[in-house]
Chain A
Amino acid sequence: MTSSFPEEVLEHVLSFLTSQTDRNAVSLVCKTWYETDRWCRNRIFVGNCYAVNPRILIRRFPDVKSIELKGKPHFADFNLVPEGWGGYVYPWVVELARAYPSLEEIRLKRMVVTDESLEMVAKSFNNFKVLVLSSCEGFSTDGLAAIAANCRNLRVLDLRECEVEDLSGHWLSHFPDSFTSLESLNMACLVSEVSFSALERLVARSPNLKTLKLNRTVPLEKLSTLLKRAPQLVDFGTGAYSAEFRPDVYSSLAGVFSACKNLKSLSGFWDVTPAYLPVINNVCSQLTSLNLSYATTQSPDLTKIVSQCCNLQRLVVLDYIEDTGLNTVSLSCKDLRELVVFPSDPFIGDVDVQLTEHGLVAVSEGCSKLHSILYFCRQMSNSALIQISKNCPNLTCFRLCIIEPRAPDYQTLEPLDTGFGSIVQNCQHLTRLSMSGLLTDRVFEYIGTYAKNLDMLSIAFAGDSDLGLHYVLSGCDRLRKLEIRDCPFGDKALLANASKLERMRSLWMSSCLVSFGACKLLGRKMPGLNVEVIDERENVNSIPEYAPVEKVYIYRTVSGQRFDAPDFVRIMGKDKDAVYNLS
């Protein structure tokens, strides 16, 4: 086999495999294939930055052009991971700078990124092109200034929902006049005002600019000036979309929008003045993606817009759209693939907004291509869930959040077991599921039995006993990410399925019934796992072993335990000085 055809041919064949999973699979075939893959793989994805370390990565893959790293667990988005837990990118950047001077792309998610790290990125990689920071924190606009000033070939600067210490908008002015390669700029999460003239000049000298997402401080009146400079835009995010109505501003804006023949995606619309919404009428039929989740206006205004978006594939909107608006979506947006409905007022029990399960059922009925749903609402029924499951057998992602924890079927007052059971039974391609409402162990039995393709599962305020967790861990063959909060799951199910944990990326359990003792035992017996007990109580060292921990985060790793953890994080069962050198 090894002499049947030359390495160059094998390399060429493998170059067509771009998916990480495929690459991982081929590297396991034999030594030759492993070697060939490692020499020519230049896009790397690390789903958990603590599962591996830079040294191991660099030793295996000598030539990397693009790297993606993820840090904190998903529940960090909802403030469940305390500040200082970890996920620092700096140690990675130091090693990457040394090993891969021709690195071009860095994508980070939920990592702590310091200005120092950004400065190092800016100075270390001559051909740096793409920086995407998703839900990251720890840096200021000074770090952005360093990137702007030094990355001569930058194409993408994408800040998605980051927490940035916004010292000033001056960073944007650091892009030199000779800088013309910008293709994508997303600064929507920044707070400070940038110099508009600097922004305008930047846009004017970037002929390849396709994506531009402004922040809130760019006023509506200035939008036409910008859009005139970039009619080639494909993805545009407005700033604050409110102003006193003036016919001249309106017609100017409508005109420039009409000239954007390639526009496919719109977002922004903070504080929207409804009178200005119709300027986008002429582009609605072009749109495949529309994000109105900051557009705080009422259903009629929102409905008028979506009714014209006949080619829409992705809609993100507030519950202000109400059932009537979603009904219009179901009639007008026949190509819809993804629906996201956020709550406008998440902490009030009763609101005046008429958004119920009916809206979601309507969309499931009218939009046969729907495969991804994230829906916040205040009532749900088993019959609605069953209907949805029958209407959308091709669902891949179903995330339902009923705002009140443990809310039952509002019609029958029963648990929502059968409804979610129907989802997993009818939707055989489901890879991601988030559940809410009143749920017993029964629903987990359904999940373990039917959800064979499930990759990620999120559970909150559900279940009766360890049996529920046992069903999931023993039944869901493809499960890689499991996150649980406030459920009565404990040691028994966890320990009985310990080996399963090594076949998953990670397990998060907070406010459950897992004991210190079980965590210690698991950590000691499973060297391939880091069992992190995250517990901020002051008297944590005097708490008996049989008492439950606050939070535990378990993940597989070939890097051994980490040494950058704060004192409220204890890696259980490992000798503090030992470093596992498995590779």
Chain B
Amino acid sequence: MDGRYSRKEEMHPQLLDLNHMITDERNWFAKKDDHNLGDEKKLELRLGPPGVEDWSVTDAHKNYKSSQKASHKRSAPAPVVGWPPIRSFRKNIASSSSKQAPVSDSQNAIVSNNEKMVKNCQKGFFVKINMNGVPIGRKVDLNAYDTYEKLSVAVDQLFRGLLAAQNDTSGVRINGNHEHEKPITGLLDGNGEYTLVYEDNEGDRMLVGDVPWHMFVSSVKRLRVIKSSEISNISRLGNKQEKSKV
């Protein structure tokens, strides 16, 4: 931008002469390549408190130029007011519809169709999962599963090796040697050595498996694998018989 407005200069003569500007085509084309921002220093001005978006001319121009060079594609674009240009009632179509999906026993096609819609709309829902006795936690993508059984199998696969490594005090570990690895079973029915619990969106610790899967997915914040002996500290929503319903 080519403005040269400083308080000392007389604004009027330069800007009043509109005709001069219109006919002087050369001016336009010469300036085309002139991105000299030297004069912009006069225009630098912090218009708001530090931290607030700075609308000085220099910075604004810099932003445009640098983003032109960047040809990267961000996976999650920063939210911009009024962009993309759609009306507000069109903004939540994908998410609001999945919540209203009818659950019907007779038409499995409909149910799975809508569940698929949910998956399509929430790509990659990762939650942290920690296991007692294992110092480093993992992350699991809940969208990759649609039943508690599948989640349980995944948890077993995630931690089986790590748990064995922790318990092996001999210090000797040969790659590929899975002799000492015990499968982690009974995570959901309370019969195993370990049980799967989760923290919900209200901060409460809950037993995994009591509510329908989609309800669990919508309220879970993180997962934990704890020793079954510690369960008495955790509230129960239902009894053991109902837990296997998915």
Cross-chain contact A515 with B3 (CB below 8 angstroms): yes
- Docked-complex contact B2 and A545, CB < 8 angstroms: no
| CB of A78 within 8 Å of the partner chain | yes
> Of the candidates B42, B83, B95, which one forms a contact with A78 in the assembled complex, judged by CB atoms under 8 Å apart?
B83
Quote the shortest CB–CB distance from B113 to chain A (angstroms).
6
Cβ of A140: which chain B residues have Cβ within 8 Å of it? none
B85 partner residues in chain A, CB cutoff 8 A: 77-78, 401, 434, 458, 460
A271/B110 in contact, CB under 8 A = no
Docked Cα-Cα span, A161 to B60, in Å, equals 35
Q: Report the number of A-B residue pairs with Cβ-Cβ less than 8 Å.
A: 200
- Among B1, B64, B83, B90, contact of A466 (Cβ-Cβ < 8 Å): B1
Q: Does B86 contact A (CB under 8 A)?
A: yes
* B28 engages A352 (CB within 8 Å): no
Contact at A376–B64, with CB atoms within 8 Å? no
Instruction: Tell whether A324 is near chain B: CB-to-CB under 8 Å.
Output: no
Interface of A is mostly: loop
Q: Once the chains bind, are A349 and B100 in contact (CB under 8 Å)?
A: no
Closest B residue to A474 by beta carbon equals: B22
* Cα separation A241 to B99 with both chains bound (whole Å): 14
On chain A, the residues within 8 Å of B169 by CB distance are: none
Q: Are A274 and B110 in contact (CB under 8 A)?
A: yes
Q: Which of A502-516 contact B (CB under 8 A)?
A: 513, 515
With a cutoff of 8 Å between Cβ atoms, the chain A residues found around residue B110 in the complex are 245, 273-275
Residue on A with the closest CB to B61? A488
Known contacts being A79-B82, A348-B76, A521-B15, is A544 close to B121, with CB within 8 Å? no
A 434-457 to B, binary, CB cutoff 8 A, 1 in contact else 0: 100010110000000000000000
Candidates A243, A293, A343, A496; contact of B21 at CB < 8 Å: A496
Verify if B246 is at the interface (C-beta below 8 Å from A).
no
- Residue B77 lies at the interface, judged by CB distance under 8 Å to chain A: yes
The number of chain A residues with a CB under 8 A from chain B is 84
Residue A237 at the B interface, CB < 8 A? no
Q: Knowing A408-B71, A465-B1 touch, does A496 contact B18 (C-beta < 8 A)? A: yes
A539 to B89, CA, bound (A): 33
For B106, list chain A residues within 8 Å (CB): 244-245
Known: A345-B94, A517-B11. A79 touches B2 (CB 8 A): no
Interface stretch (choices A143-151, A294-302, A355-363, A553-561): A294-302
B68-106 to A contact mask, C-beta < 8 Å, 1/0: 100101111101111111111111011101101110101
Question: What A residues does B12 contact at CB under 8 A?
Answer: 521
Instruction: Judge if B214 is at the interface, Cβ distance under 8 Å.
Output: no
Is B140 part of the contact surface with A, judged by Cβ < 8 Å? no
Name the contact of B31 in the complex, choosing from A404, A465, A513 (C-beta under 8 A). A465
Alpha-carbon gap, A161 to B87, bound state (A)? 9
Write the chain B residue with the least CB distance to A345.
B94
CB distance from A526 to the nearest CB of B (A): 10
Interface contact A349-B76, CB-CB below 8 Å: yes
Whether, in the assembled complex, A406 has its beta carbon less than 8 Å from a beta carbon of chain B, the answer is yes
**What residues on A are CB-neighbors of B89 within 8 Å?**
161, 189
A79 x B81 contact (CB < 8 A)? yes
A285 within 8 A of B: no
Chain B proximity of A302: nearest CB distance (Å): 12
Q: Are A352 and B123 in contact (CB under 8 A)?
A: yes
B55 touches A547 (CB 8 A): yes
Residue of A nearest to B87 (CB): A77
Which 9 pairs from chain A and chain B are nearest by CB? Answer: A78-B82, A546-B5, A296-B97, A496-B21, A349-B75, A344-B94, A345-B94, A413-B71, A271-B100
| 21 pairs of residues in contact across A and B, judged by CB atoms under 8 Å | A78-B85, A79-B82, A243-B102, A271-B97, A296-B93, A297-B117, A345-B94, A347-B91, A353-B120, A404-B74, A464-B64, A466-B31, A491-B3, A495-B15, A496-B22, A499-B18, A515-B5, A537-B47, A544-B45, A546-B42, A548-B57
With A485-B82, A492-B1, A521-B16 already in contact, 20 other A-B pairs whose C-beta atoms are closer than 8 Å: A79-B82, A242-B101, A271-B100, A271-B101, A274-B110, A343-B86, A345-B94, A346-B91, A347-B79, A352-B123, A404-B74, A440-B68, A441-B32, A460-B83, A465-B35, A467-B32, A492-B3, A495-B18, A544-B7, A547-B47
Q: Which residues of B contact A (CB under 8 A)?
A: 1-3, 5-7, 11-12, 15-16, 18, 21-22, 28, 31-32, 35, 42-43, 45, 47-48, 55-57, 60-61, 64-65, 67-68, 71, 73-77, 79-91, 93-95, 97-98, 100-102, 104, 106-107, 109-110, 113, 116-117, 119-121, 123
